[in-house]
Amino acid sequence: MFRKTFLAALPGLGLPIFSLAIVALGVETVVCARHAEQTFGGVSYGVTPVLPWLPAVPWLASLFGVIWVACGACLLARRTRRTAALVLGGLLLLCTLILDVPKYAANPGNMSLRTAVFEPLSLACLAWLIGGWLTVASRYLLALSLVVFGVDHFLALAFIGSLLPAWIPWHVFWVAFFGAAFIAAGLSIGLNYWQRPGAAGIGLMFAIWVVTLHLPRVLGLYGIPGAPGDPNEWSSLFIAVALWGGTWALAGGTEK
């Protein structure tokens, strides 16, 4: 009974969280694109866009940012949800194929480049699933993305463990645990077996990361130099929030 009640409540939580995160990514893209040479927090981060999924042309990045804001807002309305999901997912996939896949193909052992491919791909799939587009293909591609994230956790146990705050014990254990959770959730979604609990669990994992890792970093609570003003930290926060909300929306199902 509790599980059914919890899963039924997720669309009301997940969809607004996903929408807000997409709007935030769009706003950050516009702000950073308009101030490409601006210094954040006393540290220069070079030209924008911060997100590697976007072209390094300020006006074009700004245009994408505006579209993302509009799509994020329109996802909340049932009348415009399907169109917004189609546009958002399509733009994310297009940018990934044009900008990120070629870079990764030239250096397939680079985990950062691999993440830059599968993060926007997973967001695109979540948008399409929310809107009811390409549901079978999106489910398989989302499953693949989650499995890749999980495998990468095992390939970089020590490095990812070093990113965890000192107050959390057993760093390597938690990295391995969440790696296994990624793989399990990916398999459940891909095989359509316990898909809703799997998506709910992986969403909860992202929610925990937002509260314990990403939000404290951007607020400067962990004393990381430059982190409070680093656009990369903010985009990482918004991406984690989007994956949290999107998987919860998937777990609960959304009304078309």
pLDDT in tens, 92-148: 999 899 989 999 999 998 998 999 999 999 999 999 999 999 999 999 999 999 999
Question: Sorting pLDDT into bands at 50, 70 and 90, what band is 237?
Answer: very high
User: Up-side HSE of residue 142: CA atoms within 13 Å toward CB?
Assistant: 29
Asked if residue 6 has pLDDT above 60, the reply is: no
Give the whole-angstrom CA distance, residue 223 versus residue 117: 30
Asked if residue 239 has pLDDT above 90, the reply is: yes
Q: What is the pLDDT of residues 38-91, one digit of tens each?
A: 444 444 444 545 677 777 777 888 899 999 999 999 999 999 999 999 999 999
**Which pLDDT value is given to residue 190?**
92
* Tokens linked to 52: 């590697």
Report the amino acid identity of residue 26. G
Q: What is the DSSP string of 181-206?
A: HHHHHHHHHHTTSSHHHHHHHHHHHH
Question: Sorting pLDDT into bands at 50, 70 and 90, what band is 233?
Answer: confident
Backbone angles phi, psi at 37, to 5 degrees: -105, 10
Question: Sorting pLDDT into bands at 50, 70 and 90, what band is 173?
Answer: very high
Q: Pick the more confident residue, 89 or 228.
A: 89
Q: Which of 56-65, 201-210, 238-247 has the lowest mean pLDDT?
A: 56-65
Residue tagged 């929306």 (tokens): 249
Which residues face 208 on adjacent strands? none
CB within 8 A of 57, min separation 6: which ones?
A: none
Mean pLDDT of the chain: 86
Which residues face 39 on adjacent strands? 44
Let me know: does 185 contact 202? Beta carbons within 8 Å.
yes
Q: Pick the more confident residue, 2 or 84.
A: 84
Asked if residue 2 has pLDDT above 70, the reply is: no
Chain centroid to Cα 203, Å, comes to: 11
Question: Sorting pLDDT into bands at 50, 70 and 90, what band is 163?
Answer: confident
* Tokens linked to 154: 């095992």
Question: Sorting pLDDT into bands at 50, 70 and 90, what band is 166?
Answer: confident
Q: What is the pTM of this model?
A: 0.89
- The three-state secondary structure class of 132 is coil
